[in-house]
Chain A
Amino acid sequence: MIKFKNSEITSENIYKKRRSFIKSIGLGASSLAMSTIPFVNKSLANERDKLTSYKDITTYNNYYEFGTSKSDPHRNSQIFKTTPWEIAIEGEVEKPIKLSMEEISEMFVSEERIYRLRCVEGWSMVIPWMGFSLSELLLKVIPTNKAKFVEFESVYDPEQMKGQRYPVLNWPYKEGLRIDEAMHPLTTVVTGLYGKKLPNQNGAPLRIFIPWKYGFKSAKAIVKIKFVEKMPTSSWMWASPREYGFYSNVNPNVAHPRWSQATERIIGEGVWAPRVKTLMFNGYGDEVASLYSGMDLKKNY
């Protein structure tokens, strides 16, 4: 695991100043400066895409392994041990591999990726993640021709994760993607946020993030990635198949039985800020809509 010295960590203020500086030197220069950072220019163009504060991102979490209340993960995850950590890539592959976090941080370069996060509960954030495309990691193995889906498995450690001592969900947490979704460049392996090492409450040491799907699809603290033939049953599908489908793409036109998906509340905007309209595929339609052409997204929710 990379150890960060305190001096190496950019404070949120400097971080934001740096951004506004990059912005202020003009579009030409800024797109040059950020050409290595995908999708960022578009994000900065819009006022609703103002970065959510580091405090809100790290204290308002759904991470039931550490408790069901939003403030629990921050409170209960501080002593969680993320070293040593190993990720197994197995299942329908020719040669399964195991990678340590050290090996992963040597093999792949994390870059800044600013994405919107839309929770199924109807709120959203904008998060400057650090990470790389999952496809880079998956290319380290050769899937057999049976492989159709990828299943993610989060860590199971009820000693350290007290939420797992209760049958809140079907532990360990499982999620899944179709292989083409997993290979899409937007599907990210996250190793940090705000230029810092990923905090425990956000899924350290390694999680995935799929910006066009509801937040729960992005499994945290991953220990296993498995290529499989049949569509995996995620923990939430298992808990309530009527409410949580396999795809779970952000879709303002398909209502969840409990939350309106037409609009969302932006975290950090205060009591008087109105809800804003939710965008199809969370605003990433240009990039991902083609993955679902010809599919009835009302049925495949």
Chain B
Amino acid sequence: MRSYSKIIVFFLSLWPIYLITYQIVFNQLGPEPVDRIINHFGEWTLIFIFLTLSMTPLRKITKSLEWIKFRRMLGLFAFFYASVHMLSYVGLDYRFDFEPLINDVLKKKFIFIGFSAWLLLIPLAVTSSEKMVRLLKQNWKKIHRLIYIIGIFGVLHYIWLSKTIFFKPLIFLILLIILLLFRIKITKSASKI
């Protein structure tokens, strides 16, 4: 039973890939396909960061430990989609032309913060294994708190790249705030005990 649910979540998490493949095959990407692909993976990265962040609150709310076993996989999917997002920007849009890219990273704050968020995801992905959890002990938790910063950077990246905060970036910001508020509540109730 346990292994089945993980397999199901794994294939469900590939949804963005099915979707974009369908759109590529049936020519549904619209007039600006490159932009569409980059945005698609960017949005799904944020969604997966949020999904990862919602496992702990869900555990508290439903009083079920089931949720936590998906957390690692969802987090790794967030890293995977972030990497595809960045690669499509670097490869598809800029054709690995690094001069304007470096210029972008240094001069445009939305790219700088987005790139930083991706860099911060790397140590989390590297230390995600069971072995690493045991090896790093209490430090593991500290390292993995980086996800809050990554979430904030990711949403800022989205807000800054949009011409206006209405409406999608605003929705993402609200979701992030809700998820982070849970943390404050959790730590407060934990400290009471």
Using CB atoms and an 8 Å cutoff, list the residues of chain A in contact with chain B.
56, 59-60, 64, 68, 70-71, 121, 123, 166, 168-169, 239, 255, 257-258, 260, 262-263, 265, 267-268, 270-271, 274-275
Contact = CB atoms under 8 A, between A and B. Distances in A.
A271 B31 contact: no
Given A68-B167, A168-B166, A275-B93, A258 B161 contact: yes
Interface stretch (B1-9, B101-109, B118-126): B101-109
B107 to A, nearest CB: 7
10 contacts: A68-B163, A68-B167, A70-B31, A123-B32, A257-B109, A258-B110, A260-B100, A265-B32, A265-B93, A270-B33
Contacts of B24: 271
Contacts of A275: 93-95
Given A260-B104, A271-B24, A275-B93, 6 more contacts: A59-B31, A68-B167, A123-B32, A169-B164, A263-B100, A265-B32
Interface of B: 24, 29-35, 37, 92-95, 100, 104, 107-110, 160-161, 163-164, 166-167
A268 B37 contact: no
Contact of B31 (A168, A169, A262, A267): A267
Contacts of A262: 100
Given A258-B110, A271-B92, A60 B31 contact: yes
Given A255-B107, A258-B110, A260-B100, A265 B164 contact: no
A271 B33 contact: yes
Contacts of B31: 56, 59-60, 70, 267-268
A59 B32 CA distance: 11
Contacts of A71: 30
A71 B36 CA distance: 12
Given A260-B100, A265-B35, A271 B29 contact: yes
B34 A258 contact: no
A267 B32 CA distance: 6
Given A255-B107, A258-B108, A260-B100, A271 B34 contact: yes
A64 B32 CA distance: 18
A68 B166 contact: yes
Contacts of B163: 68, 121
A68 B163 CA distance: 9
Nearest to A240: B163
Contact of A60 (B30, B37, B100): B30
A294 B37 CA distance: 42
- Which 10 pairs between the two chains have the least Cβ-Cβ distance? A60-B31, A56-B31, A271-B33, A267-B31, A168-B166, A168-B164, A68-B166, A166-B166, A123-B32, A268-B31
Nearest to A64: B164
A274 B164 contact: no
A168 B169 CA distance: 13
B163 to A, nearest CB: 8
Contacts of B34: 265, 271
Given A168-B166, A275-B93, A258 B32 contact: no
B158 to A, nearest CB: 12
A253 to B, nearest CB: 13
Contacts of B30: 59-60, 70-71
A257 B95 contact: no
A196 B109 CA distance: 43
Contacts of B32: 60, 70, 123, 265, 267
Contacts of B37: 271
A300 to B, nearest CB: 20
